[in-house]
Amino acid sequence: MDLWFHSIRICWWRVLFLMSVFQDYLSSMLDCPPTCSCSQTEIYCNKSDNGRFFPLLALQDTGSNGTSVDIAELFKNITSIHIENWTGLQTLRDVDMELYTGLQRLTIMNCNLRVIQARAFAQNPHIRYMRLEGVVFDCGCDIRWIQLWQQRGEAGLHTQQLYCKNGASKIRLHNMYIHNCDLPEISVSHSSVLVMEGDNVTVSCNGSGSPLPEVDWTVSGLHSINTHLSNVYWPNIHSINLTLFNISRDDNNFQLTCIAENVVGMTNSSIQLNVQFPPVILRLAEPEQRHDTCIEFTVRGYPHPKLRWFYMQKEILQNDYIRTDMDFYQDYLEGCLTFQNPTHINNGNYTLEASNPLGTVTKTVYGHFLMAPDMDEKVPSTPSDGDSGRPDEDTFGVSIAVGLAGFACVLLLVLFVLINKYGRRSKFGMKGPVAVISGEEDSASPLHHVNHGIITPCTLDAGPDAVVIGMTRIPVVENPQYFRHGHNCNKPTTRKSLDP
């Protein structure tokens, strides 16, 4: 009675679990089976239990926010499961393990385990160690896969003594021999196929062996319409023809995989599909300034098209200034026609030609790099009148000249005064002026001296149209605003302050 009730309870938890996986709104939380202790990464069941099913984290409706994503992660985080003295556990089924996708260690001790289904660990790629202590299997083809794992040394099984019961006698699994019980063999009709877009093609796969394997082509992700035709050549060949109709270019490089599987295990074999189609230019963009300037393109075609560029009816030969950089991704070619420091001379129409044995396409883009230099200069000068049309550099040059002349002037004056004053001290004569000069040179700008000097151009009676260089006036053709303000008089102003 207790056992029956317990099984019902576990079943109910499972139902609850499945419901919540498929219905996000059922908020739930995982709960540890009653005879186990659980942590984030481990389920440890060392109390006797007569449950017939593998322990599954049960679900408890808590009305909180758990989503199916979190549940999958909870299961995935379990890396270790230990089960001891579960007398009711006789069969480990494939569905028992499939949620624990992160499982690494499994221990089953002193249970009445007799069968582990062949696909039980299909979803547990990380399993590294399996300890099966006190397990006695039923000898037969169903556990032949464990014998193969043991022979191959997978999951540490080769270090353990495993047994199976053949009627009344218990033998080592190592010594079990089962007739007609082997991995399937597989043969496919091609190693690769080369077809044209729009063609039809049939490939064939034979899975043979006993037990007679299931055979199938995996076509998920395939774009072309396809049909499977299955045929069995008794006693031991299962053959499947896969026909693809109106083959799409999107299936170029697709791996057609055939899988043959029986209770002993799975084998597979693949055919590479190559689809030929004429080139297309998917993208040809206007020049874009990056590290260098780039006309970006994307071309598609198989076999990979050959690219040529034309400018003014002439093919562009690759050189240091213009070159093609590109990458291949499957049947895509992506890259740049790269220009180093292009100027207005490079402006014009650029034509890309892509060709493969199935065809040729061209596309043209107008490359606009820089304006012609004369156009560049006319723009600012047009609004001003004739005299003030000089470029910036001259203004700056005049200011510098004024500054330097003033500085020289002041320096001479200071020297003159100092020599007069200290000239008669023969031994230390040079010290004074040297110190003064070196001290002054610490300041950031040579024009600095002018403001601290005895005479600056500003303190002289300089009219708006004249500037003082040395002690003479020279007329200035520049805009007089540069020299109007006393404190700024030696700093060249920017052109912007000129504009009304």
Ligand X SMILES: *[C@@H]1O[C@H](CO)[C@@H](O)[C@H](O)[C@H]1NC(C)=O
Q: Which residues in this chain contact ligand X in the complex, by CB under 6 A?
A: 40, 46-48, 64-65, 70, 73-74, 77, 84-85, 110, 187-189, 198-200, 202, 204, 206, 218, 229, 231, 233, 237, 239, 241, 245-246, 248, 257, 259, 268, 348-349, 364, 366
Nearer to ligand X, 91 or 110 (CB): 110
- Residue 282 CB partners (closer than 8 Å, separation 6+): 298, 299, 300, 332
Structure tokens at 458: 């500003």
Q: How far apart are CA 67 and CA 146, in angstroms?
A: 36
Q: Least distance (Å) from ligand X to the CB of residue 245?
A: 5
| Partners of 230 in beta bridges | 240
Measured between alpha carbons, how far is residue 19 from residues 8, 27, 456 in Å?
A: 16, 10, 92
Q: Least distance (Å) from ligand X to the CB of residue 47?
A: 6
The rounded Cα 449 to chain-centroid distance in angstroms is 59
Nearer to ligand X, 40 or 420 (CB): 40
- SS3 of 233-297: the string is ECCCEEEEEEEEECCCHHHCCCEEEEEEEECCEEEEEEEEEEEEEEEEEEEECCCEECCCEEEEE
| Partners of 268 in beta bridges | 259
Q: Least distance (Å) from ligand X to the CB of residue 403?
A: 49
Q: Least distance (Å) from ligand X to the CB of residue 155?
A: 16
Q: Least distance (Å) from ligand X to the CB of residue 293?
A: 18
Determine contact, residues 252/174, Cβ cutoff 8 Å: no
Q: Least distance (Å) from ligand X to the CB of residue 105?
A: 15
Nearer to ligand X, 308 or 448 (CB): 308
Nearer to ligand X, 199 or 296 (CB): 199
Burial of 485 (0-12, 13-18, 19+ CB in 10 A): exposed
Q: How far apart are CA 184 and CA 215, in angstroms?
A: 10
Supply φ then ψ for residue 351, to 5 degrees: -115, 130
Nearer to ligand X, 206 or 395 (CB): 206
Nearer to ligand X, 47 or 491 (CB): 47
Q: Least distance (Å) from ligand X to the CB of residue 388?
A: 37
User: DSSP state, 318?
Assistant: P
Nearer to ligand X, 228 or 491 (CB): 228
What is the chain's alpha carbon radius of gyration, rounded to the nearest angstrom? 44
Burial of 66 (0-12, 13-18, 19+ CB in 10 A): buried
Nearer to ligand X, 82 or 144 (CB): 82
Q: Least distance (Å) from ligand X to the CB of residue 179?
A: 22
